């Protein structure tokens, strides 16, 4: 601002950089406030048995209601990660999801799966926090899955905490599989129980699907099965994709075709509809 005579191009660059930084600062400040005033909430997306469509679990996905507007995690999670706020945000997500899922687990046998960032795994208090939340909410460890993106698992330093959590009965899912660096070849070395095939693979299964795309999906399913991993297909949007995944015997599926992420009340309604109370 001091150099009004400065080059126009440079000042444009400065301005846009400054705008980006101030937007990031605005989001960070908003997130701090949201942690205090409870405007962070969770939506839940059904995870279904591909063969029957029955809902077996739900993925907890964070939402931020800012001035009445729902801000998606794609906007605020990166800022939370850059500022370290993700540790507090992640604990909030876990506590909300476990508290909510305790009833769903008791009544409908549902499990809940919660996303976890690298920063959280590196926080020395993480395992203790998770176990404390289970104790506090009464959710059995078997009913909790933690999702870690594939690239994180490359770092062996991060896997120790996963061993601790698995020993307690918590299951670990590798999220967005196929987008990171891990290869099918060393899948057996990863401390995981569930493999989630990234949406980009499922999107390629168009109607009619190309043989090479089908065989890639089949290869992932076969290898995961041979390692005793349960596979979830992510981003299933069409009946044709669901049918193909059924034929390929992909055990679990998730996507708009089966159900979008919704507020807890709508999961409740969906489960009641699927399990009507006996008429007395
Ligand atoms: P993710 O864990 O891979 O979650 C799946 C994303 O795909 C969700 O986006 C979901 O709404 C979307 N999705 C589900 N089915 C379909 C479909 O059929 N088609 C399409 N196009 N999309 C579908 P969302 O809720 O915007 O979340 C985006 C990402 O933000 C998540 O990806 C996850 O990495 C991150 N995230 C969300 N909540 C949390 C959280 O509590 N903690 C952390 N660390 N990350 C979170
Ligand atoms: Mg996920
Ligand atoms: Mg995913
Ligand atoms: Mg993701």
End-to-end CA distance of the chain: 76
* Residue in 115, 172, 261 to alter for ligand 1 test, most ligand atoms within 8 A of Cβ: 115
Q: Which atom of ligand 1 is nearest to the CA of 176?
A: 3
178 lines ligand 1 (CB under 6 A): no
Q: What is the pLDDT of residue 187?
A: 77
Residues 209-232: b if buried by 16+ CB within 10 A, e if exposed: eeeebbebbeebbebbeeeebbbb
Q: How confident is the model at residue 276, as a pLDDT?
A: 82
Closest CA to ligand 1's atom 33:
115
Predicted confidence pLDDT, tens digits, the chain (280 residues): 445 555 666 677 778 888 888 889 999 999 999 999 989 999 999 999 999 999 999 999 999 999 889 999 999 999 999 999 999 999 999 999 999 999 999 999 999 999 999 889 989 999 999 999 999 999 999 999 999 987 666 666 667 899 999 999 999 999 999 887 666 667 777 889 999 999 999 999 988 999 999 999 999 999 899 999 999 999 999 999 999 999 999 999 999 999 999 999 999 999 999 988 777 6
For ligand 3, the distance from its centroid to the CA atom of residue 203, given in whole angstroms, is: 13
Please give the Cα distance from 250 to 110 (Å, whole number).
Answer: 19
What are the Cα distances from residue 108, in Å, to 130, 272, 274? Answer: 23, 9, 10
Å from CA of 229 to ligand 3 middle: 16
pTM for this predicted structure = 0.93
Q: Work out which ligand 1 atom sits closest to the CA atom of 149.
A: 34
Task: Give yes or no for residue 81 CB within 6 A of ligand 1.
Answer: no
Residue whose CA is closest, atom 46 of ligand 1? Answer: 115
Is the ipTM value over 0.90, yes or no? Answer: yes
**Per-residue confidence (pLDDT) for residue 159, from 0 to 100:** 79
- As to burial, measured by CB atoms within 10 angstroms (0-12 exposed, 13-18 middle, 19+ buried), residue 132 is middle
Reduced 3-state DSSP string for the chain: CCCCCCCHHHHHHHHHHHHHHHHHHHHHHHHHHHHHHCCEEEEEEEEEECCCCCEEEEEEEEEEEECCEEECHHHHHHHHHHHCCHHHHHHHHHHHHHHHHHHHHHHHCCEEEEECCHHHHHCCCHHHHHHHHHHHHCCCHHHEEEEEEHHHHHCHHHHHHHHHHHHCCCEEEEEEECCCCCCHHHHHHCCCCEEEECHHHHHCCCCCCCHHHHHHHHHHHHHHHHCCCEEEECCCCCHHHHHHHHHCCCCEECCCCCCCCECHHHHHHHHHHHCCCCCC
Cβ(93) – ligand 1 distance below 6 Å: yes
Does the C-beta of 72 come closer than 6 Å to ligand 1?
A: yes
Assess whether the C-beta atom of 117 lies below 6 angstroms from ligand 1: yes
């Amino acid at each position: 601002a001091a150099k009004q005579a400065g080059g126009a191009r440079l000042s444009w660059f400065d301005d846009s950089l400054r705008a980006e930084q101030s937007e990031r600062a605005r989001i960070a400040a908003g997130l701090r406030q949201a942690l205090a005033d409870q405007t962070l909430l969770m939506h839940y997306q059904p995870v279904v048995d591909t063969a029957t469509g029955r809902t077996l679990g739900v993925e907890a996905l964070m939402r931020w209601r800012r001035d009445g507007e729902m801000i998606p995690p794609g906007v605020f999670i990166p800022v939370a990660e850059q500022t370290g706020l993700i540790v507090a945000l992640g604990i909030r997500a876990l506590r909300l999801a476990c508290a909510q899922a305790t009833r769903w687990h008791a009544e409908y046998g549902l499990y809940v799966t919660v996303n976890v960032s690298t920063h959280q795994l590196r926080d020395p208090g993480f395992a203790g926090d998770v176990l404390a939340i289970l104790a506090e909410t009464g959710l059995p460890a078997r009913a909790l899955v933690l999702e870690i993106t594939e690239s994180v698992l490359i770092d062996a330093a991060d896997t120790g905490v996963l061993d601790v959590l698995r020993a307690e009965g918590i299951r670990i899912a590798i999220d967005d599989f196929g987008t990171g660096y891990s290869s099918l070849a060393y899948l057996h070395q990863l401390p995981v129980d569930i493999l989630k095939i990234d949406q980009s693979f499922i999107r390629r299964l168009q109607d009619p699907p190309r043989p090479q795309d089908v065989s890639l999906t089949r290869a992932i399913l076969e290898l995961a099965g041979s390692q005793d991993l349960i596979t979830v297909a992510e981003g299933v949007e069409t009946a044709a994709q669901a049918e193909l995944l059924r034929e390929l015997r992909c055990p679990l599926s998730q996507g708009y075709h089966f159900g979008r992420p919704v507020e807890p009340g709508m999961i409740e309604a969906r489960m009641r509809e699927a399990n009507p109370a006996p008429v007395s």
